[in-house]
Amino acid sequence: MISSNIQAIIIKVAALGLDPDKHLGKTLDQMEPYLLELSKKYGVHVCGEGGEYETFTLDCPLFKKKIIVDSSEVVTHSADAFAPVAYLRFLELHLEDKVSPVPDNCRTSNDIHNS
């Protein structure tokens, strides 16, 4: 995801070593070194395939606009001392024009679906 210019943030944590106060809202790019460390230490799947974390994509090359999080709050589902489960609840979002939008010759899923 990172190498594909996908800007995604962590919106849910549910694993040993992931702290809601420290990690929710961080980008995968920011979290990559730490996730690699958790993988070595505890066997956490770097891509979150075991449900260790969930992500939300804010921007990617196919998006015409990027998503901006204006306000959010942390909701704790389980306050376990070792592996708390919590998620980020978005309270307000907006779309913003990108500096370099999707090129006109780039097909989107709508183009493919409608052809």
**102 pLDDT more than 60:** no
Q: What is the mean pLDDT of the chain?
A: 87
**103 pLDDT more than 90:** no
Inter-residue contact 101 to 60 (CB < 8 Å): no
Question: What's the whole-number mean pLDDT along residues 78-86?
Answer: 88
Residues 36-81: pLDDT tens digits? 999 999 888 888 887 789 999 999 999 999 999 999 999 999 988 8
**b/e per residue 55-72 (b: at least 16 CB within 10 A):** bbebbeeebeebbebeeb
Q: Which domains does the chain have, with CATH numbers?
A: 2-114 (3.90.1490.10)
Phi first, then psi: give them for residue 114, nearest 5 degrees: -90, 0
Q: 97 pLDDT band (50/70/90 cuts)?
A: very high
Percent pLDDT > 90 in the chain is: 59
**93 pLDDT more than 60:** yes
